[in-house]
Structure 1
Protein backbone atom coordinates (compact mmCIF):
# COMPACT_ATOMS: atom_id res chain seq x y z
CA UNK A 1 0.00 0.00 0.00
CA UNK A 2 1.12 3.51 -0.77
CA UNK A 3 0.00 6.00 1.86
CA UNK A 4 -0.19 9.76 2.10
CA UNK A 5 -0.27 11.29 5.58
CA UNK A 6 -0.81 14.61 7.25
CA UNK A 7 2.32 16.78 7.12
CA UNK A 8 5.01 15.67 9.56
CA UNK A 9 3.26 12.42 10.60
CA UNK A 10 4.87 9.84 8.30
CA UNK A 11 7.31 8.35 10.82
CA UNK A 12 4.74 8.09 13.61
CA UNK A 13 2.16 6.54 11.29
CA UNK A 14 4.67 4.04 9.86
CA UNK A 15 5.46 2.91 13.41
CA UNK A 16 1.76 2.55 14.25
CA UNK A 17 1.10 0.59 11.06
CA UNK A 18 4.00 -1.79 11.72
CA UNK A 19 2.18 -3.06 14.83
CA UNK A 20 -1.06 -3.96 13.03
CA UNK A 21 -1.99 -7.58 12.21
CA UNK A 22 -1.38 -8.29 8.54
CA UNK A 23 1.29 -5.59 8.15
CA UNK A 24 4.56 -7.21 7.12
CA UNK A 25 6.58 -3.98 6.93
CA UNK A 26 6.01 -0.23 7.09
CA UNK A 27 8.57 2.36 6.04
CA UNK A 28 8.33 6.12 5.74
CA UNK A 29 9.72 7.49 2.48
CA UNK A 30 10.10 10.68 0.48
CA UNK A 31 8.22 11.50 -2.69
CA UNK A 32 4.54 11.68 -3.59
CA UNK A 33 3.70 9.09 -0.92
CA UNK A 34 4.82 9.22 2.70
CA UNK A 35 4.64 5.58 3.82
CA UNK A 36 5.02 2.29 1.96
CA UNK A 37 3.40 -0.70 3.68
CA UNK A 38 3.64 -4.34 2.67
CA UNK A 39 0.56 -6.20 3.81
CA UNK A 40 -0.41 -9.85 3.61
CA UNK A 41 -3.36 -12.15 4.21
CA UNK A 42 -4.39 -15.70 3.38
CA UNK A 43 -6.79 -14.44 0.71
CA UNK A 44 -7.68 -11.30 -1.20
CA UNK A 45 -11.04 -11.34 0.55
CA UNK A 46 -9.40 -11.32 4.00
CA UNK A 47 -7.08 -8.53 2.92
CA UNK A 48 -9.90 -6.30 1.69
CA UNK A 49 -12.22 -7.16 4.60
CA UNK A 50 -9.81 -6.73 7.52
CA UNK A 51 -6.24 -5.67 6.79
CA UNK A 52 -6.91 -2.74 4.43
CA UNK A 53 -9.67 -1.23 6.60
CA UNK A 54 -7.47 -1.52 9.71
CA UNK A 55 -4.71 0.42 7.95
CA UNK A 56 -7.14 3.05 6.70
CA UNK A 57 -8.46 3.65 10.23
CA UNK A 58 -5.12 5.00 11.50
CA UNK A 59 -5.46 8.68 12.37
CA UNK A 60 -3.44 10.98 10.14
CA UNK A 61 -3.72 8.97 6.93
CA UNK A 62 -5.20 11.11 4.17
CA UNK A 63 -5.08 8.71 1.19
CA UNK A 64 -4.16 5.10 0.41
CA UNK A 65 -3.49 3.22 -2.79
CA UNK A 66 -3.56 -0.58 -2.56
CA UNK A 67 -1.43 -2.35 -5.18
CA UNK A 68 -1.91 -6.14 -5.01
CA UNK A 69 1.02 -8.20 -6.28
CA UNK A 70 -0.15 -9.70 -9.56
CA UNK A 71 1.68 -13.03 -9.34
CA UNK A 72 0.61 -13.72 -5.75
CA UNK A 73 4.19 -14.07 -4.46
CA UNK A 74 4.90 -13.39 -0.81
CA UNK A 75 8.09 -13.19 1.21
Structure 2
Protein backbone atom coordinates (compact mmCIF):
# COMPACT_ATOMS: atom_id res chain seq x y z
CA UNK A 1 0.00 0.00 0.00
CA UNK A 2 2.82 2.42 0.72
CA UNK A 3 3.78 2.19 -2.96
CA UNK A 4 0.59 4.09 -3.77
CA UNK A 5 2.25 7.42 -2.92
CA UNK A 6 4.82 6.92 -5.65
CA UNK A 7 2.55 5.32 -8.26
CA UNK A 8 -0.67 7.39 -8.12
CA UNK A 9 -0.24 11.15 -8.59
CA UNK A 10 -3.30 12.08 -6.52
CA UNK A 11 -2.15 10.14 -3.40
CA UNK A 12 -0.64 12.47 -0.81
CA UNK A 13 -0.58 10.14 2.23
CA UNK A 14 -1.05 6.48 3.16
CA UNK A 15 -1.45 5.49 6.81
CA UNK A 16 -2.11 2.15 8.50
CA UNK A 17 -4.66 2.67 11.28
CA UNK A 18 -6.52 0.77 13.99
CA UNK A 19 -10.29 0.54 14.21
CA UNK A 20 -12.86 -0.22 11.53
CA UNK A 21 -10.45 0.53 8.66
CA UNK A 22 -7.05 -0.95 7.82
CA UNK A 23 -5.61 1.89 5.77
CA UNK A 24 -6.45 5.55 5.17
CA UNK A 25 -5.35 6.99 1.84
CA UNK A 26 -5.44 10.76 1.38
CA UNK A 27 -6.03 11.96 -2.17
CA UNK A 28 -5.63 15.48 -3.53
CA UNK A 29 -7.86 15.98 -6.57
CA UNK A 30 -8.65 19.03 -8.69
CA UNK A 31 -12.38 18.27 -8.65
CA UNK A 32 -14.91 15.55 -7.82
CA UNK A 33 -14.63 14.04 -11.31
CA UNK A 34 -10.89 13.48 -10.88
CA UNK A 35 -11.47 12.11 -7.39
CA UNK A 36 -14.11 9.68 -8.63
CA UNK A 37 -11.92 8.45 -11.47
CA UNK A 38 -8.96 7.92 -9.18
CA UNK A 39 -11.06 5.91 -6.74
CA UNK A 40 -12.95 3.78 -9.27
CA UNK A 41 -10.29 3.31 -11.94
CA UNK A 42 -7.07 3.25 -9.93
CA UNK A 43 -7.47 2.75 -6.18
CA UNK A 44 -10.11 0.01 -6.39
CA UNK A 45 -7.93 -1.83 -8.92
CA UNK A 46 -5.07 -2.21 -6.41
CA UNK A 47 -4.52 -5.82 -5.33
CA UNK A 48 -6.00 -6.42 -1.88
CA UNK A 49 -8.47 -3.52 -1.92
CA UNK A 50 -11.87 -5.02 -1.18
CA UNK A 51 -13.90 -1.83 -0.68
CA UNK A 52 -13.48 1.89 -0.26
CA UNK A 53 -15.25 4.53 1.83
CA UNK A 54 -14.93 8.14 0.76
CA UNK A 55 -14.95 11.07 3.21
CA UNK A 56 -14.39 14.62 1.98
CA UNK A 57 -12.40 17.16 3.99
CA UNK A 58 -14.03 20.59 4.15
CA UNK A 59 -12.81 23.97 5.30
CA UNK A 60 -15.15 25.59 7.83
CA UNK A 61 -14.17 29.19 7.98
The answer for the alignment partner of 2:4 in structure 1 is: 17
Structure 2 runs not aligned, ≥5 long: none
Q: 1:32-53: CA deviations, max 9, x gaps?
A: 100011101111111112x212
Runs of 4+ in 1 over 3 A off after TM superposition: none
User: Unmatched 5+ residue regions in structure 1?
Assistant: 1-12
Per the TM alignment, residue 17 of structure 1 is displaced from its structure 2 partner at its CA by: 2.1
Greater strand content: 1
Partner-residue secondary structure (3-state), 1:41: coil
TM-score w.r.t. the length of structure 2 is 0.78
Question: Structure 1 length normalisation: TM-score?
Answer: 0.66
